[in-house]
Structure 1
Amino acid sequence: MAGIYLHIPFCKQACHYCDFHFSTNTSKKNEMVEAIKQELLLQKDYLSTHQLDTIYFGGGTPSLLSEAELSSLLDTIHRLFAVDKKAEITLEANPDDLDKTKLQQIKSSGVNRLSIGIQSFYEPHLKFLNRAHTSAEAERCVLQAQEIGLNQISIDLIYAIPYQDHSIWQTDLQKALALHPQHISSYCLTIEDKTVFGKWLQKGKLNQIEEDFAAEQFEILLQTLADRGYEQYEISNFCLPNQYSRHNSNYWRGEPYLGVGPGAHSFNGSIRQFNVSNNALYLKSLAEHKIPFAVDELSKTDQINELIMTGLRTKWGCNLQKLQESFQYDLYLLNKNYVDQLIAEGQAVLQEEQLILTNKGKLLADRIASDLFVVEEIN
C-alpha cells in the first residue's frame, strides 16, 4: 500500500509555535490547487503499481479549500492513481472553518476522516498560541461532524503550555474525552527558532519549556488516556481499539508515499524528495511543467537509522529481524550491553525480535534512538 500527502500552504493567521511552511496570503489559492494537480500528473508514476491506501490533506490549513477545490484535487487523484475503495481520506481542519455546511461539503467530497487542530480548550492558552478559534467553536464542530456522520475524528492537543500547575491540562484532556473522538494526537510545545515563540525566547520575553513540567504532563496524558481505553500506538498518537491512523502508521512503517505541494516530502523506500518551501517558486516551476525538488538518496546507514528512529516511536517497536534481513545488521549483538541496560532499567523490552520502549523509555525515546544510531557508514 502507499499514500499521497497534499500540502496546502495557507493559513488565516500564524500560530506562535508553528514552523511549517504556509502563507497567510490566500490570493493564489486557486492557482495553487491547479499547480498541485499539475504536479500530481507529473508524478503519476512515482508510486509505480502501488495502490493508494491513504490520502492526507495537511498544511497549512486544508479546511480553507472550497468544496470545488477539494473535489477537484480528489477527482484528479482518482483519475491518475489506483485508489482502494476503503482508502482513508483525511483532512486537517481548524474549528473556526467548520460549520454544518462546510462539514457536509467535506463529507460529500469523499473525505472520511477529520483531524481537528483544537490544541486547548482554555481560552487564555488559545490566545497565547494565537489560535483563531474559541473553546466553544472547538466543541461545537466536533459534535456537528458527528451529527452528520463524519465519525472518524482525531483531535490535536498541545501539552507543556506554561502554567502554574497541571489543572488546565487535566481539564483539556477531560473535555477532549467527553467528545469521544476515535483518535487523539498530543504534542509537547516546542520552541522553534523561526517562530514567534522563538523570537520571544531570544528577546527574553519567554522562557524555555521546563523538561520536568513537560514530562509530568506527558505522564498525565499516558495515564488518563489509558484509563479511558485509548492505546498509545506511537509516542504522540492514541486511539480507541483498531482506530489507528493508517496514514501515520504507514509512515512509521516505511511505506512509500508521494508528497505534493510546496514543502512536501516524498519517499519511495530509498530516496527522499523535498519540494521547495516557496509558494512563488513552486507556482512558477509548475507553470513550466517542472517540479522544484531536491533529492536525498538514503545510504544503508541512513535507512538503518530511520528504521530505528521510527520503530522505537511505535507500539510495535524496532524490528530487529527486518534490520537483519534487509541490511545484515544485528542491532542487539552490536549494542548488547546498552540494550540489556535499557531492559534492566525498565525502559525497554524484547518481544519476538522487536525492541519496544516502555512508558518510562518513551520519555527518552529520542535519546535512546540516538544512542543506537549507526555512526560510521555501512557498505
Structure 2
Amino acid sequence: MSGIYFHIPFCKQKCSYCDFYSTKDSNGIDELVRSEIEELILRRDYLNHDLVETIYFGGGTPSLLNIYHISNLLKCVRENYNVSSDCEITFETNPDDLTEDYLKGLFDCQINRLSIGIQSFNDDVLKYLGRRHDSRNLNCNIETAKSVGFDNISVDLIFGIPGMELETYYDSLNKVIHLDIQHISAYSLTIAEGTLFYKLRKENKLKEIDEDDLLIQFNSTIDILAEHGFNHYEISNYAKEGYKSRHNCSYWEDVNYLGIGPSSHSYNGFSRQWNISNTHKYCSLVGKNEPIFEVETLTRKDKFNEYIITGLRTSKGVSVKFVKENFEREIVQHFVKGVLSLLKQELIHPYDDRVVLTRRGILISDFILQQLYFI
C-alpha cells in the first residue's frame, strides 16, 4: 500500500502559530496545479505501482482550489497510479470556504473525508490565533457537509493557548463533540521558530501557559472524548471506531508515500526526499524537468530512530521484539537501557511485548525521544 500527499501552499492570511510553508500570493494557483500534474506524471514510478490507499490534500489552504483544479489533480492520479477502489481521500478546509456548492463539488470529485480547521468556538481565541473565520456558522457548515453526503469528518482543535480560560476550552471541546463527527485532532499549541508567536515570545510579549493548566486540558481532553466514544490512538488524534486517519497512520506505520508540490516530503522505505520550499522555483523547475528535491538515504541508525519517533506517537507504541530482531546489537543495547530508565520514571509502560507512552510521557515526548535516539 502507499499514499499520495498534495501540498497546496496558498493562504489568505498566515495564522500566528503556523510554521508550515505557505504564501499569501495566490495568483499562481493555475500554474501550481499544472506543475503538480506534471510532477505526478514525472514521478509515477516512485511508488513502484503499489496500490494507492490514501490521498491527502493539505496546506496551506487546499480549499482555495476550485473544483476544476481538484478534479484535474485526481484525474491525473487515477490515470497514472494504481488507486484502490476504497481509497481514503482527505481534503483540508477552512470553515468559511464550506459553501453548499463547494461541498457538492468536493463530493462529486469523490473526496470522502473532510478535515476542518475549526481550532476554537470562541471568537476572541480565533482572533488571537490569527484565524480568518469566526464561530457564527460552524455548526451550519458541518450540517451542510453532512447533508451533502459526507460521513467521515474530522475537526481540529487547539488547547494550551496562553491566557485562555479552562472553561473556554471545555466549551469548544463540548461543542465539537455535539457536532456528531467521527474524528477530532486536538493539538497543544507549539510556538515554532518563524511564527508570529515565536517573535512575540522573544520580545517578552507572549505569556507562557501554566504547565498545570496544560496538563489539566490534555488529561481532560482524553477523558471527555473517551466518554463519547473517541479512541486516543495517537498523541493528538482521537477517532470513533473505524475512523482513524488512514493517511496519517501510514506515516507512523512505515508505508511509502509520494509528496507532490512545494515543500512536500516523500518516503520509499530507503530514503526521504523533500521538495524545495518556494512555489515559483518549484513551478519553474518542474517545467524544465529539472530536480526539485533533495534526497537523504537512510542508514540503519536513521531507520531505528524513525521507528522510535513514529511508533511512540501512537497507542501501539514500539515493539521490543521488533527492535531486537531487526537492529544491530549496539542499537538494541542502547534501546533496552533507555527503556529500563524510562520505565522507572513512569514515562512509558509495558503493553504485551511493546512499550507505550504514559500520559505524563506524552507531554514530554521530546525528552523521551532524546533518551532513545541512537546518535
TM-score range for the pair, normalised by the shorter chain length: over 0.9
Q: Distance in 2 between matches of 1:42 and 1:18?
A: 31
Counterpart of 2:297, as a letter, is E
Q: Is the contact made by 1:6 and 1:58 (CA closer than 8 Å) also made in structure 2?
A: yes
Q: Distance in 1 between matches of 2:72 and 2:269?
A: 29
Query: Is 1:82 aligned with 2:50?
Result: no
- The equivalent residue for 2:234 is 234
Superimposed CA distance per residue, residues 101-151 of structure 1 (whole angstroms, 9 cap, x where no aligned partner) = 110001001100000000000000000111111112222211111111111
Query: Is 1:53 aligned with 2:53?
Result: yes
Shift of 1:330: 7.9
Query: Is 1:126 aligned with 2:130?
Result: no
Shift of 1:309: 1.1
Shift of 1:347: 3.1
Shift of 1:291: 3.6
Q: Distance in 1 between matches of 2:7 and 2:32?
A: 10
Shift of 1:337: 5.1
Give 1:161-176 correspondences, 5 Å limit.
161-163=161-163, 165-176=165-176
Give 1:1-379 correspondences, 5 Å limit.
1-163=1-163, 165-328=165-328, 333-336=333-336, 338-375=338-375
Instruction: With the length of structure 1 as denominator, give the TM-score of the two structures.
Output: 0.95
Q: Is the contact made by 1:323 and 1:329 (CA closer than 8 Å) also made in structure 2?
A: no
State the secondary structure of the residue aligned to 2:114.
strand
Q: Is the contact made by 1:320 and 1:331 (CA closer than 8 Å) also made in structure 2?
A: no
Q: Is the contact made by 2:62 and 2:91 (CA closer than 8 Å) also made in structure 1?
A: yes
Q: 1:227 to 1:344 in 2, by over 3 A?
A: farther
Q: 1:335 to 1:256 in 2, by over 3 A?
A: closer
Superimposed CA distance per residue, residues 322-355 of structure 1 (whole angstroms, 9 cap, x where no aligned partner) = 3233324587754445423433454322233211
Structure 2: runs of 5+ lacking an equivalent: none
Q: Is the contact made by 2:125 and 2:164 (CA closer than 8 Å) also made in structure 1?
A: no
Counterpart of 2:277, as a letter, is S
State the secondary structure of the residue aligned to 2:118.
strand
> What number of residue pairs does the alignment pair up?
375
Q: 1:98 to 1:329 in 2, by over 3 A?
A: farther
Instruction: With the length of structure 2 as denominator, give the TM-score of the two structures.
Output: 0.96
Q: Distance in 1 between matches of 2:104 and 2:175?
A: 24
Shift of 1:305: 0.7
State the secondary structure of the residue aligned to 1:27.
helix
RMSD of aligned Cα (Å): 1.6
Shift of 1:260: 0.7
Q: Distance in 1 between matches of 2:89 and 2:252?
A: 18
